[in-house]
Amino acid sequence: MSLLVLTDIHMSANKPVGRIGDYVADVDAKLQEVAELARKINVEAVLCAGDVFHRPAPAFSVLARFLTFLEWLGIRFITIPGSHDLVGNNFDVLYRTAIGVLDRLGLIELLTPVTKDVTRVGSFVIGSPYVDVPDIKLVHESVVPEPTFGEYTLLKNYKARSRIVIVGHEHSGYDLKTIDGTTYICPGSLVRTVARESELDRRPRVAIIHEDYSVEWLELQTARPGSEVLAPPVVTPEIDFAGIVQEWASVKIEEIDVTILLREVAEKEKVSKEVIEYALAMLGDNSGL
């Protein structure tokens, strides 16, 4: 018996700013290869450590494509919510999200405090980030071997009681790490969206967990070289944030409309339309400029 592990699919109807070419076709080709690998290896289930979708409520076409993937797969798909799957990390509105609907329909298995925290696949007990299980735990956060930008937890400080921890959110991934009897699997995102050096050289991969807890890496053959799918970084002028802060200093923080502020910054600093549209989309504002 074995399990296939992936993370951060980021299915979307639109191409991220950092991509060139046909993003939708590229993602679908990878998902089809994943389904074929699952059948070839005869895995019992697919485990995903979050960010199935790029937005909590994606376009219907995205849902249709994901349902096609589930049909190709034909086995259990077990996941946890990622930062892009939830609205403000709020489980009270899980019912409004794509993963919440798919779980209620029985098409996927979603591990959360308000659905179920634990499931079993064969001899494996699999849990969400919120519980301790003996076998496999799924987490979607920056649990990393070395210091990085933003908020993170070093592996040596992450107190896990599971034999395996599957880490999502870290798009570049890292090789297997075993600390205090726990093996950390971080495949990295199934898609690459930014032309960083690490992403240009990385080929997306999945992991196979075998019944004896050994782990095997499989690089996806449908993933093209980074230079063929990643656009050079968009260069924008330096923004006078100090001046902007001064202008808004008399406004109470709770009264600030982030989209208005973003539009004002864009207009004053002549930020490219491509960049500002991407920023608005990340904020959930689809009205354009």
**3-state class percentages of the chain: helix first, strand second, coil last, to nearest 5:** 30, 20, 45
Domains of the chain (ranges, CATH numbers): 2-229 (3.60.21.10), 241-283 (no CATH)
Calpha distance 225→21 (Å, rounded): 12
Residue type, 197: E
How many alpha carbons lie under 13 Å from residue 187 in its C-beta half-sphere?
A: 29
Number of other CB atoms surrounding residue 283 within 10 Å: 11
- Cα 3 to Cα 39, 68, 188, 244, 254, distances in angstroms: 11, 20, 17, 51, 46
Continuous H helices in the chain: 23-41, 60-73, 98-104, 197-201, 226-229, 241-247, 258-269, 273-283
Do 138 and 79 meet the contact criterion of CB atoms below 8 Å apart? yes
Order of strands across the sheet with 136-140?
A: 118-121, 124-127, 136-140, 164-168, 182-186, 174-179
Treating both helix axes as pointing N-terminal to C-terminal, what angle do 258-269 and 273-283 enclose, rounded to 10 degrees? 170
Q: What is the pLDDT of residue 4?
A: 98
Question: Which backbone phi and psi does 186 adopt, to 5 degrees?
Answer: -130, 90
b or e along 60-76 (b: 16 or more beta carbons within 10 Å of the residue's beta carbon)?
eebbebbeebbebbebb
The pLDDT profile of the chain, 289 residues, written as one tens digit per residue, is 999 999 999 999 998 888 999 999 999 999 999 999 999 999 999 999 999 999 999 999 999 999 999 999 999 999 999 999 998 888 999 999 999 999 999 999 999 999 999 999 999 999 999 999 999 999 999 999 998 877 899 999 998 889 999 999 999 999 999 999 999 999 999 999 888 888 888 999 999 999 999 999 999 999 999 999 998 765 445 555 566 556 655 555 555 666 777 777 777 666 666 677 766 666 654 444 4
**Which pLDDT score, from 0 to 100, does residue 231 have?**
87
- pLDDT for res 189: 96
Q: Measured between alpha carbons, how far is 109 from 105 in angstroms, rounded to an integer?
A: 10
Look at the chain and count its residues: 289
> Which segments of 74-208 does DSSP mark as H helices, in order?
98-104, 197-201
Half-sphere exposure of 219 (CA within 13 A, CB side): 8
Residue type, 156: K
At 21 the pLDDT is 92
In this structure, are residues 115 and 103 in contact, taking their beta carbons and an 8 Å threshold? yes
